[in-house]
């Protein structure tokens, strides 16, 4: 297990050092500094073995966090723990910086004592931790017996991420479906590869211990219902507002630890008691039937040896009522470009010599529209026999729908002990699709 945990500043000075195991000596602190932080070359691996001692490190801005061990530990767990440690610190005092760490070193030691015991990670959910470790010192002496046992049962309980007794006057929740769509297309318009990686982020402000059920247009679920013939009344509480009829095939998804995985595995239903506030409910990946919001049609013609004519048409491919934003098309130009003349119908286009590209920006564009840019590129004559490699044309944009086709069908909230029902909860759903690596070869 983890033998010790050190935090250094960019100079390699120790800010925090906590040793959990007897086999880790003080010299381990120096070994990491000398061999990794002060090493001359770039870091070649996040895991370093120095004299039979292994160091795992992550960096946040210019702060180094290093976990050290002499055993064959679960490496994935150590890194997950280091990330978690960063999250916890951020939740307590904001940005991880030298100043903040020094200002909160007593708190950090308290946290380290609590979330890592003999090198074994313990409950590290900030929701639970904040009930008894605070920046004003530890609560404890003032608590009543009930409060104390409530704290311990939460820290060790099955729902360690949420404390009891949360109350809101208004029960409200926000769901954000955030997707990034990636594409590589051939000049002829053939899709070489495309995938969407998405996240469902939830902000919940709900009283008590609400039991939630989340439904989306997952193909497996829809098909099952279709076969069974029993139409679920879930359709009525459709939140997506879209046509929502087609279903999508999800390649893989992962869930926050609040989701009951065995239930998902057996029934494919997503049920959970959410943490309070903002968290990431799920991540997913799809590769089939992706709605590509934009199509790029390039046309490059070489006129003699000193001139290129480029014409690029972009077509928006979604409902006319929707608006795409922050559109940017990047057309690479050869290294020996001497001058560029551009004409575009919409937006602004500029040749950026330092980036070897024409950058065309459009603020907004509705669906089912098309726009075009033409450019004449003057080239300097060169002796280089090698032809220009023609890097792909890339695009950036943001659209108000999910390119995967994912629709939230419902999010039902049940809280049996308190007197509010699913209908009383105010729910908000938002879809944002952004470009990941969105390229068309030319």
Partner 1 sequence: MQEWANQLCENRQFGSKMTDSKYFTTTKKGEIFELKAELNSDKKEKKKEAVKKVIASMTVGKDVSALFPDVVNCMQTDNLELKKLVYLYLMNYAKSQPDMAIMAVNTFVKDCEDPNPLIRALAVRTMGCIRVDKITEYLCEPLRKCLKDEDPYVRKTAAVCVAKLHDINAQLVEDQGFLDTLKDLISDSNPMVVANAVAALSEIAESHPNSNLMDLNPQTMNKLLTALNECTEWGQIFILDCLANYTPRDDRESQSICERVTPRLSHANSAVVLSAVKVLMKFMEMLPKDLDYYGTLLKKLAPPLVTLLSAEPELQYVALRNINLIVQRRPEILKHEMKVFFVKYNDPIYVKLEKLDIMIRLASQANIAQVLAELKEYATEVDVDFVRKAVRAIGRCAIKVEQSAERCVSTLLDLIQTKVNYVVQEAIVVIKDIFRKYPNKYESVIATLCENLDSLDEPEARAAMIWIVGEYAERIDNADELLESFLEGFHDESTQVQLQLRTAIVKLFLKKPTETQELVQQVLSLATQDSDNPDLRDRGYIYWRLLSTDPVAAKEVVLAEKPLISEETDLIEPTLLEELICHIGTLASVYHKPPSAFVEGRGQHKRLPGSGGSAESESPDAVSAGAANEVAAVIPSQGDLLGDLLNLDLTPPATTGPPPHSGGMQLGAMDLLGGGLDSLMGDESEPLGGDLGGSPAMGAGFGAAPAAMPPAFSAPVSGGLEDLFDLGGGVGMPLGSFCPPKTVWLPAMKAKGLEISGTFVRRAGVIQMEMTITNKAMSVMTGFAIQFNRNSFGLAPAGPLQVLTPLSPNQNIEVSLPLNTVGPVMKMEPLNNLQVAIKNNIDVFYFSCQYPISVLFVEDGKMERQVFLATWKDIANENESQFQIKDCHLNSDTASNKLQTSNIFTIAKRTVDGQDMLYQSMKLTNGIWVLAELKIQAGNPNYTVSLKCRAPEVSQCVFQSYEAVLKN
Regarding 25 and contact with partner 1 (CB under 8 A), the answer is yes
CB-CB contact of 294 with 272 (8 Å): no
Interface region with partner 1, contact rule CB under 8 A, candidates 78-86, 210-218, 292-300, 413-421:
78-86
- Answer for which of 10, 38, 62, 152 binds partner 1 (CB under 8 A) is 152
Instruction: Tell whether residue 15 is a contact of partner 1 (CB under 8 A).
Output: yes
* Window of 36-44, 210-218, 316-324, 411-419 that interacts with partner 1 by CB under 8 A: 36-44
117 near partner 1, judged by CB under 8 A: yes
58 makes contact with partner 1 (CB under 8 A): yes
Which parts of 174-193 interact with partner 1 (CB under 8 A)? 193
Select from 102, 224, 348, 430 the one that contacts partner 1 (CB under 8 A): 102
Residue 213 assigned as binding residue = no
Instruction: With beta carbons less than 8 A apart as the criterion, state whether 165 and 209 touch.
Output: no
Distances (CA, A) of 265 to 193, 218, 221, 375, 434: 29, 13, 12, 54, 30
Q: Alpha-carbon distance 58 to 142, whole Å?
A: 38
Asked if 156 contacts 409 with a C-beta cutoff of 8 angstroms, the reply is no
Check residue 213 for interaction with partner 1 (CB under 8 A): no
User: Which CB, 121 or 367, lies closer to partner 1?
Assistant: 121
Tell the smallest beta-carbon distance from residue 199 to partner 1 (Å).
Answer: 10
Beta-ladder partners of 352: 357
CA dist., res. 365 & res. 317, Å (int): 11
Please report how the helices 75-93 and 105-115 are oriented relative to each other, as an axis angle in degrees rounded to 10: 140
Binds partner 1 (CB under 8 A): choice among 68, 85, 88, 110: 110
Answer yes or no whether residue 54 interacts with partner 1 by CB under 8 A: yes
Residue 26 lies near partner 1 (rule: CB under 8 A): yes
Strand partners, 98: none
For partner 1, give the closer residue by CB, 330 or 346. Answer: 330
Task: Please say which residue, 272 or 360, places its beta carbon nearer to partner 1.
Answer: 272
Minimum Å gap between C-beta 440 and partner 1 is: 16
In Å, the largest CA–CA distance within the chain is 87
Q: Which helix (H) or strand (E) holds 310?
A: strand 307-316
Name the DSSP letter for residue 33. I
- Is residue 145 part of an annotated ligand binding site? no
The structure tokens listed for 359 are 């950058």
Please report where in the chains the tokens 């459009």 appear, as a residue: 362
From residue 44, give the alpha-carbon distance in Å to each of 28, 48, 57, 129.
19, 9, 12, 35
- 356 scored as a contact of partner 1 (CB under 8 A): no
Residue 346, annotated ligand binder? no
Please state the closest distance from residue 414 (CB atom) to partner 1, in A. Answer: 20
DSSP 286-299: E-SS---SEEEEEE
Question: Which 375-434 residues touch partner 1, going by CB under 8 A?
Answer: none
Note whether 9 binds partner 1 by CB under 8 A: no
348 annotated ligand binder: yes
SS3 420: coil
Q: Per CB under 8 A, which region of 46-54, 298-306, 350-358, 406-414 contacts partner 1?
A: 46-54
Contact status: 104 vs partner 1 (CB under 8 A): yes
Distances (CA, A) of 3 to 7, 9, 136, 190: 14, 20, 29, 53
Per CB under 8 A, the segment of 35-43, 171-179, 336-344, 369-377 that binds partner 1 is 35-43
Q: Per CB under 8 A, which of residues 246..275 are in contact with partner 1?
A: 251-257, 259-262, 264-266
Is 203 marked as a binding-site residue? Answer: no
Q: Which stretch binds partner 1 (CB under 8 A): 98-106, 320-328, 363-371, 398-406?
A: 98-106
Helix or strand (DSSP H, E) at 217:
none
CA atoms of 305 and 317, how far apart (whole Å): 36
């Amino acid at each position: 297990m983890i033998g010790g945990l050190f935090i250094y500043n960019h100079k390699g000075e120790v800010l925090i050092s906590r040793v959990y195991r007897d086999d880790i000596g003080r010299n381990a602190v120096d070994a990491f500094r000398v061999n990794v932080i002060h090493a001359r070359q770039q870091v070649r691996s996040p895991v370093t073995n120095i004299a039979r001692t292994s160091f795992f490190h992550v960096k946040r801005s210019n702060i180094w966090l290093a976990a050290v061990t002499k055993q064959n530990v679960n490496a994935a767990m150590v890194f997950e723990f280091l990330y978690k440690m960063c999250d916890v610190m951020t939740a307590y005092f904001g940005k991880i910086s030298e100043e903040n760490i020094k200002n909160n070193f007593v708190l950090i030691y308290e946290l380290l004592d609590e979330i890592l015991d003999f090198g074994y990670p313990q409950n590290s959910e900030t929701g639970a931790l904040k009930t008894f470790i605070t920046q004003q010192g530890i609560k404890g002496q003032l608590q009543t017996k009930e409060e104390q046992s409530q704290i311990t049962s939460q820290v060790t309980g099955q729902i360690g991420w949420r404390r009891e007794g949360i109350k809101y006057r208004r029960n409200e929740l926000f769901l954000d479906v955030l997707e990034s769509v990636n594409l590589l297309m051939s000049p002829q318009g053939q899709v070489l590869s495309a995938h969407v990686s998405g996240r469902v982020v939830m902000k919940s402000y709900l009283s008590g211990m609400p039991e939630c059920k989340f439904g989306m247009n997952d193909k497996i679920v829809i098909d099952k219902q279709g076969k069974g013939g029993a139409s679920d009344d879930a359709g009525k509480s459709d939140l997506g507002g879209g046509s929502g009829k087609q279903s999508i095939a999800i390649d893989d998804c992962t869930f926050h630890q609040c989701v009951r995985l065995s239930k998902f595995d057996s029934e494919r239903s997503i049920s959970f008691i959410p943490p309070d506030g903002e968290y990431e409910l799920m991540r997913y990946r799809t590769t089939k039937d992706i709605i590509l919001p934009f199509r790029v049609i390039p046309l490059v013609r070489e006129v003699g040896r000193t001139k290129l004519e480029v014409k690029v048409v972009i077509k928006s491919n979604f409902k006319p009522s929707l608006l795409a934003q922050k559109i940017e098309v990047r057309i690479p130009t050869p290294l020996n470009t001497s001058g560029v003349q551009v004409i575009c119908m919409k937006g602004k286009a500029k040749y950026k010599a330092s980036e070897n590209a024409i950058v065309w920006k459009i603020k907004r564009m509705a669906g089912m529209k098309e726009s075009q840019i033409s450019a004449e590129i003057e080239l300097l004559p060169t002796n280089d026999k090698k032809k220009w490699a023609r890097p792909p044309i890339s695009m950036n944009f943001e659209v108000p729908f999910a390119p995967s086709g994912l629709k939230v069908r419902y999010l039902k909230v049940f809280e049996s002990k308190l007197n509010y029902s699913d209908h009383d909860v105010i729910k908000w759903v938002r879809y944002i699709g952004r470009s990941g690596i969105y390229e068309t070869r030319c």
